[in-house]
Structure 1
Amino acid sequence: MLASLSGALLLASAASASKLSLASADCKLIPGSPAWPSPGEWDALNQTISGRLLRPRPPAAACHEAFAEFSDGVCTTVRTRWNSSQWHSEQPASNMWQNFNGYSCLPTEEAPCSDGGYPVYVVSARERAHIVAAVKFAKEKGVRLNIKSTGHDFLGRSVQPKSLSIWTHQLKSTEWHPVGYQPKGCDFMIREPAVTFESGAQMGELYAQAKERKLMIVGGDSKTVSGGGYLTGGGHSPLSPKYGMGADQVLEIEAVLASGEVITANECQNQDLFWAMRGGGGSTFGVVTNFTVRALPEVPITVWFGTLRSNASAEAKWDVVTHIFREWPKLGSEGISGYLIGNPWSTINVPTLQIIMPNTTSRDDLQKLMDPFVAGANNATGGQPILRGGSTFYSGYGNFQVPRTNLTRARDPTSTFPGTGQSKLITSWLWDTEALASPNLKQALMGSTDNETLLFTDFTAGPGTHSPPFMRGGGNAVNPAWRTAWVRPAAEMNWKGRDLDKLRERMATLKTFERALISLAPEGGTYGNEADFSADNWQHKFYGSNYPTLLEIKRRVDPDDVFWCRTCVGSEGWEETEEGQLCRV
């Protein structure tokens, strides 16, 4: 009962779950439905895809005696790596945050374990033909379809219960184009270095390959993130304030549509999908098989790293954090990015600040900007030296990005992102110049966290996101709020255990934090890849004025809603029942 109750709470949120029959024509099939495909039909699919159909057990099954996979030795490995985002990305059905599968199976003896929160079958795709077969099967049979690459998904969209899942993690081939790229069907060459990579390629892998070629790409901060969800969601980056969003770099997309057709989208063909799939969300219009993106000549970079003094008062730390936010446009206008992570209420998770300046000649380029910035922050507290730090110069971006670890890794050496393997909820908002100038700025910041919450801020917007210096096709579907924003503060909750009262309390508190963040820019929006999965009016919050056009494209290319995921374009036409079935509203 725990899994189903938790699943209903999370997946249906405040809405009551539908009670439609398992046999209803208005529902996707799940096990127990009279028309659920027979074993013979699943075997036929498996033969079509060269034996790549998996029937995975829950990722922690080895820790539970009821499963044939029970093994003390394997369980020890599972427990050791449970907090590793890379480990979860390598599991065919796992996701990184356990509240999104209803705590179906945790690696502890006292926890229940079932497969109720996971896909039933997984197609471990190694080529586009495997994806085509899976999509056609789901469409013909009417089963629920899920798409997972790494499972690094803050909204739980890459794990759908009782579904057929397409796992793209093994699609990692890359091809570099050092002098330029000619998009398919176009009669011109784009005279910029580029790289074509399959949608399962992860940022750490791409960064390493780029470094070998003295190139760099606009990619995510976490190296376990893959290209698929990152680029289709827009993709912000440490390089974005200077060079633009990840989606702004895309030259071409290959994808499998709901019909099973493999299409190429670029500025010369399928232009509507080329616009929509760069920022309009993943798992929506099709399954992306590969991207071609612009690569940049590698430049030197200087990084300033600092911390707030742990024994300073919470009030003083909030004064410094408020100053950092208020003055950020002065740094952001220089194409500088950064991250502020921590909690001024806490003496343990003390805020840390990382500032990144590309295309520098020495550490002094950044240090001379940071000295008055830091002095101003400390003057905000009456001159107390609360914020301290220094700069390091790297001769190439890859020398910084490839060997680095995430800022939060020091708190958990087995993880590349905080809270992996636990529960996670997040809400965020994009703040523009007017929001940062508000007299209520400090009040909004203080109202967006409590002592159990991380303030995880991305300073990854600036001139490059406001007016992208390189974007093909005349525009894309990135949320327009990015085009005026400077910062993206986020309240991130991570906690252990599976207590439903704690889950309910945290969800209610999250709404309070969301109201505080939105209060400074109520007509703005957020980054749909890192936001509250249960947000109301998510169509505007996640997609802005682009939503009506995105919905029209969705209805045309996928009229039967073969593809569905939470808060994705067109998802409002369906709801999830307590049984994990997807039914039309």
Structure 2
Amino acid sequence: MKRGQKCTLTATEGVRNDTCFQGTVPDYYVDAQSVEDIQKSLRFAQQHKLPITVKNTGHDYRGGSAGVNTFAIWTHNFAPDPVITENFTPDGCPGPVGPVVTYHAGQIGTHLYSSLQGTGYMSVAGSCSTVGPSGGWVAGGGHGIFAPSFGLGVDNAQQMKVVLPNGTYVTANRCQNQDIFFALRGGGGGTFGVVTETTTLLHKDQEFSFVFLQMPVQDVRAANEILVANAERWSDEGFGGLYGVTGIEPGSNIIFLGYNANLNLNETKATLKPLTDYLQSLPGSESMLLEFKTQPNQYAAQNDPALLALLLPEAGVSLTRSSRLVPKKNFQTADGQKAIVDALMANKFGWGAVIASPTNYTLAESDQPGGPGEASVSPAWRDSMWHLTYGTNWDPADPVATSPEALATMFQEISEAMDPMRAITPGAGAYQNEADVYEPDAIGSFWGEKNYARLLAIKKQLDPDNLMSCWNCIGWDVNDERHECYLNVRGIGPSN
């Protein structure tokens, strides 16, 4: 298989008369619909030393659910209805943790939110409803629009059942198999085993204040300054969602899409008044889209047309991004705010700050570093305010845009665009599920050195042959055959 051999379908292209190649799509798939299917698949892979890929939805920016010459375990159809337990006690634990919902490997957010509608409960899962909450989402940390108030996915998970690489089926929680529980909650998907089900906390469903704002602005620096100046206050007040500016050229759109579990609608309008007053003072303010409303429950919030419209452009599109978790301390001085604005203005891609850090969530004592429920996500999540992203896309049907040379340039540019922000946030991290493919410090950004050392020891014990691996995963080999379609960017990539 040579780099560039592909058969990419696009939403804008009709029937193709062309020679197609396998590309990074695995050669063999198992449609796993039970624990037994997964066990047999993993034992077969062990017997024949086959590199393994795990896939539910394939919602993965870094390609972890695909791989050249791999044996794929597809879990998408292992999705019985979610089950609510009113007072759940994790296996081997001394007492109950309260109401939970249990869902299986193939579950996606759409079905989960629908199943909880009308029950009086809500659950933390992905902002994009096509994400699989039992798969790579929680394995990478699990952010979403409700994480600021209710915690990350790893904080809410109470128990996980997993088939290990050798085919053994185990239960992991805060009372047993704590190392595995640690690894599954932040160590990255497709690495330590195939999770078959996740049990996560339920919260009382409630109303949410909602705002959507969009308007073209001529003075992009001024727009950035007002968003940065108010960022700490909005974070402290519990907003989740996204805001940013779509470019650096005059006429770029400022966007604010926010949910708040703590403020009523009048309070929400009041706290956003500096932004709305500023925009309404500008020429052309009559073009501003501005909507405030109360969402009656999680289902309505998750299915709001503005949120769905914001997420829709990513469906079926070839895109990549770079990202950074920006600490709260960077926003707390005038010099710090200016440095952030300068870094935002230094990139040509525009930006979006995903407001999904657990800023209003108190981490349980059991989950503090060293505790039985510690998660392996980057510690940077705990003191960040922004999950900052820059993004770009290309037409997969364009032979010029998809040449190795053009793609290498584009990936290099999007990666280097984040360098000014990396420079002013030393020691901070990145969300591995939405990270730069060629993140220059993956270990430090995704896990931190301490977490990585523990994860690597667990990995070597569970999967000594490294059959379950993916790009930038724990214990990966950059020159593994499954990565040969990746480019060499910033000195990161296969040597061939």
Counterpart of 1:394 in structure 2 is: 295
AA in 2 matched with 1:481: A
Paired residues of 2:243 and 2:354 also in contact (CA < 8 A): yes
* Offset at residue 461 of structure 1 (A): 1.8
Displacement after TM superposition at 1:181 (Å): 0.7
Mapped partners of 1:508, 1:208: distance in 2: 41
The answer to whether the 8 Å contact 2:242/2:354 transfers is yes
Which protein is bigger by CA-based radius of gyration? 1
* Residue in structure 2 matching 1:368, options 249, 256, 270: 270
The structure-2 alpha-carbon separation of the partners of 1:480 and 1:558, relative to structure 1 and needing over 3 Å to count, comes to: same
1:221-370 paired onto structure 2 within 5 Å:
221-227=127-133, 228-308=135-215, 310=216, 312-313=217-218, 316-340=219-243, 342-345=245-248, 350-360=253-263, 362-370=264-272
Q: CA deviation at 1:140?
A: 1.1
* Deviations 1:558-583 (CA, angstroms, capped at 9, x unpaired): 11112101111111475337867999
CA distance in 1, matches of 2:428, 2:144: 20
Q: Distance in 1 between matches of 2:82 and 2:222?
A: 48
* Structure 1 unpaired stretches of 5+: 8-57, 61-77, 84-105, 411-415
> TM-score, normalised to structure 1's length?
0.75
Q: Secondary structure at the match of 1:143?
A: coil
Give the Cα–Cα distance (whole angstroms) in 1 for the partners of residues 57 and 413 of structure 2: 28
Identity of paired residues, percent?
Answer: 25
Counterpart CA distance in 1 for 2:220 and 2:421 is: 19
Instruction: Report whether the alignment pairs 1:536 with 2:431.
Output: no
Structure 2 counterparts to residues 39-50 of structure 1, below 5 A: none
d(CA) in 1 for partners of 2:102 and 2:458? 25
TM normalised by structure 2 equals: 0.87
Taking a change above 3 Å as real, the CA distance of residues 474 and 142 of structure 1, as seen in their structure-2 partners, is closer
CA shift in 2, pair 1:462/1:251, >3 Å: closer
Q: How many angstroms apart in 2 are the aligned matches of 1:329 and 1:527?
A: 20
Q: Deviations over 1:14-35 (max 9, x none)?
A: xxxxxxxxxxxxxxxxxxxxxx
Give yes or no for the alignment of 1:196 onto 2:102: yes
1:171 to 66, 74, 78: 78
Spell out, residue by residue over 1:348-388, the C-alpha distance to the aligned partner (whole angstroms, 9 max, x if none): 8623211111155x421311222235346778x89989976
Counterpart residue number, 1:213: 119
**Partner in structure 2 of residue 86 of structure 1:** none
Distance 1:511 1:344 in 2: 17
Give the root-mean-square deviation of aligned CA atoms.
3.1
Change in Cα spacing, 1:118 to 1:348, as seen in structure 2 (3 Å) is farther
Secondary structure of the corresponding residue to residue 313 of structure 2: coil
Return closer, same or farther for 1:441/1:454 CA change in 2, 3 Å cut-off.
closer
- CA contact under 8 A between 1:4 and 1:578: conserved in structure 2? no
Residue 74 of structure 1 is matched in structure 2 by none
> Structure 2 unaligned runs (5+)?
487-492
Q: Is this contact kept in 2: 1:323–1:377, CA < 8 A?
A: no
Residue 507 of structure 1: CA displacement? 1.4
Aligned residues of 2:178 and 2:373 also touching (Cα < 8 A): no
- Post-superposition CA distance 1:409-453 (Å, at most 9, x none): 36xxxxx543433321110001112323412211101223x2xx3
Q: Alpha-carbon deviations, 1:25-74, whole Å to 9, x = none?
A: xxxxxxxxxxxxxxxxxxxxxxxxxxxxxxxxx987xxxxxxxxxxxxxx
Query: How many residues of Structure 1 are paired with residues of Structure 2 in the alignment?
Result: 476
Q: Which letter maps to 1:458?
A: V
* Alpha-carbon separation, structure 1, partners of 2:485 and 2:42: 20
Separation in structure 1 between the aligned mates of residue 287 and residue 423 of structure 2, nearest angstrom: 28
* Inter-partner Cα distance in structure 2 for 1:470 and 1:252: 14
Instruction: Check the 8 A contact 1:319/1:442 in 2, yes or no.
Output: no
* Maintained 8 Å contact 2:237/2:262: no
Q: CA deviation at 1:152?
A: 0.6
Deviations 1:213-249 (A, max 9, x none): 1211111110100011101110111111111111100
- Paired residue secondary structure (2:436): coil
**Equivalent runs, 1:444-455 vs 2, <5 Å:** 444-448=343-347, 450=348, 453-455=349-351
What residue in structure 2 maps to residue 404 of structure 1? 304
Question: Does the 8 Å CA contact 2:232/2:385 hold for their aligned counterparts?
Answer: yes
Please tell me the residue identity of whatever aligns with 1:205.
H
Cα distance change of structure 1 residues 465 and 554 upon mapping to structure 2, 3 Å threshold: farther
Distance 1:242 1:578 in 2: 38
| C-alpha spacing 1:529/1:111, structure 2 compared with 1 (3 Å) | farther
Cα pair 1:244 1:468 within 8 Å, conserved: no
- 3-state SS of 2:103 partner: strand
- Pairwise CA distance, 1:112: 4.2
